[in-house]
Structures are given as structure tokens and as C-alpha cells.
Amino acid sequence: MNFSTKNIQVILASSSKARIDYLKTNKISFVTKNHNVDEEKIKKEIKTPTYLSEKLALLKAKSVKATNKKQFIIGSDQILVCQNKVFNKPRTINEARKNLQFLRKKQHTLISSVTAVQNNNVVFKETSEAHLRFKDISDKQLEEYLQENKETALSCVGSYKIEDNNKYKFIEIVDGNLETIIGFPAK
């Protein structure tokens, strides 16, 4: 991240494993707190994907109340767009299956935003895009992935995690950095 966290408590307004792992890997000391943003309500109000991602990151950060003036609260969000369709996290395995079937053989865009607030003021924000192509995998491969990765399929906006790509090799990165792809564009 491009701001110093020395002598500052960082609060991550997320329970995302990828974001938690990112902060740990970068040796940033932090605690997590759940945000209280009604994402579905905001998604109904805002239709522009980039603005939606930025707004949700900001609202998530501001929804967590600091207990002292030195705390940084980080909110983040990621939007997946394919053929002008904005994807949501699936609620069922069948929805995840439909997401993956729709993405098959198509390029899609991940828009990721991160915002840090201190004393309710924005001190850092970044939005970035990555473009990926979902390969032409068979129905059998898709079903195997879903059987082995139910939790992932239901917790990710595209029903997949780039971290699984070493094993399954169904995603081609066209452009963009790993931080954007995992939903935390902080470099």
C-alpha cells in the first residue's frame, strides 16, 4: 500500500480471505470488522460498474466506526462485468454454474476498488481494472470444479478464484495485476 501503517491500527472492513491473506503477506498488522452496507440496495441504485465499485468500497470503510483517531479503516469491492452484465456473488451452486457457463469462452473485466478512511476522511483510494478470458472448459471440468470448490464458488463474484487457476488452468490473464484480480488494488 502506498501509505504508512506504522503506529496506526488498520481495520479491514471485510472478511474476504484473499484480502486478509494480502495484508498478512505484506506484513500489515490489522483486525477485521464486518461492514454493514446493504450491497444489493446500492447495486439497484448505481448502474455504472466503476462508480459502483468505488462507492461500495467507500461505504464499507465508512460503515465501520473507529474507536480512535489513528485508525485506518479499509473498505474494498470488486465488480465483474461480462458483455455489459454485472455479476453478483451467487446464492446457490446452480447460480454459480450459470455464472461459469456464461463466462466460458468470453473475456470479462474485474473492477476493483479499495478506500482507506481515517477520521471519516479518505486518505487513500485506488480503482483498477483487469481483463481476463475464461477458457473453453468442458461441462465435466466445470462440474468437477464446482464439486471441489463449493465454498469458493459461492463466495466470489465470478464464482472462481484466480488462486485456483494453477490447478484448473481455466483463466487467461489478458492484462491487469494480481492485486486487482483478487479484489484489492493497493499497489
For the segment 105-141, what is each residue's pLDDT rounded down to a tens digit? 999 999 999 999 999 899 999 999 999 999 999 999 9
Which whole-number Å values give the CA distances from 183 to 27, 65, 96, 117, 128, in the listed order? Answer: 18, 23, 18, 18, 9
Phi/psi-derived region of residue 104, left when phi > 0, alpha when psi is between -120 and 50, beta in every other case:
beta
Please provide residue 89's backbone torsions phi and psi, each rounded to the nearest 5 degrees: -60, 135
Q: Is the dihedral of CA 174, 60, 85, 89 positive or negative?
A: positive
Write down the pLDDT at residue 186: 73
User: What cell does 2 get?
Assistant: 502506498
Whether the Cβ atoms of residue 170 and residue 100 lie closer than 8 Å to each other: no
Whether the Cβ atoms of residue 100 and residue 161 lie closer than 8 Å to each other: no
Query: Residue range 6-27: average pLDDT?
Result: 88
Q: What is the mean pLDDT of the chain?
A: 92
Q: Which pLDDT tens digit goes with each residue over 48-65?
A: 999 999 999 999 999 998
